[in-house]
């Protein structure tokens, strides 16, 4: 992950970016997979803030709504009458 100083959001706030390419290139030697084992065809970043995926290739990220258990109308994990998830 890389931090960038920016004035896009507020003065002095850092922007945290998640770069999945670093995982594909295995930039950390202790990762439990081989180089090129993962790529854009088999990796998906799930983040709640879309700006964190700015440096990633298109179609490699999803941004689900934040789940709040106290919102009774929240049904993204199912309607409450079954064990099936909504995804």
pLDDT tens-digit readout, 6-38: 445 555 677 788 899 999 999 998 999 998 899
Q: d(Cα 55, Cα 20) in Å, to the nearest integer?
A: 9
**Cβ 50 vs Cβ 35: under 8 Å:** no
Q: 11 — alpha (psi -120 to 50), left (phi > 0) or beta?
A: beta
pLDDT band for position 87 (50/70/90)? very low
Residues ≥6 apart with Cβ < 8 Å to 25? 35
Q: What is the mean pLDDT of the chain?
A: 77
pLDDT value for 16: 82
């Amino acid at each position: 992950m890389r931090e960038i100083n920016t004035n896009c959001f507020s003065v002095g706030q850092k922007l945290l970016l998640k770069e999945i390419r670093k995982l594909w290139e295995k930039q950390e030697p202790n990762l439990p997979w081989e180089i090129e084992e993962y790529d854009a065809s088999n990796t998906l970043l799930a983040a709640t803030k879309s700006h964190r995926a700015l440096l990633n290739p298109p179609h490699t990220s999803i941004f689900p709504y934040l789940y709040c258990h106290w919102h009774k109308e929240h049904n993204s994990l199912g309607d409450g009458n079954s064990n099936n998830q909504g995804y």
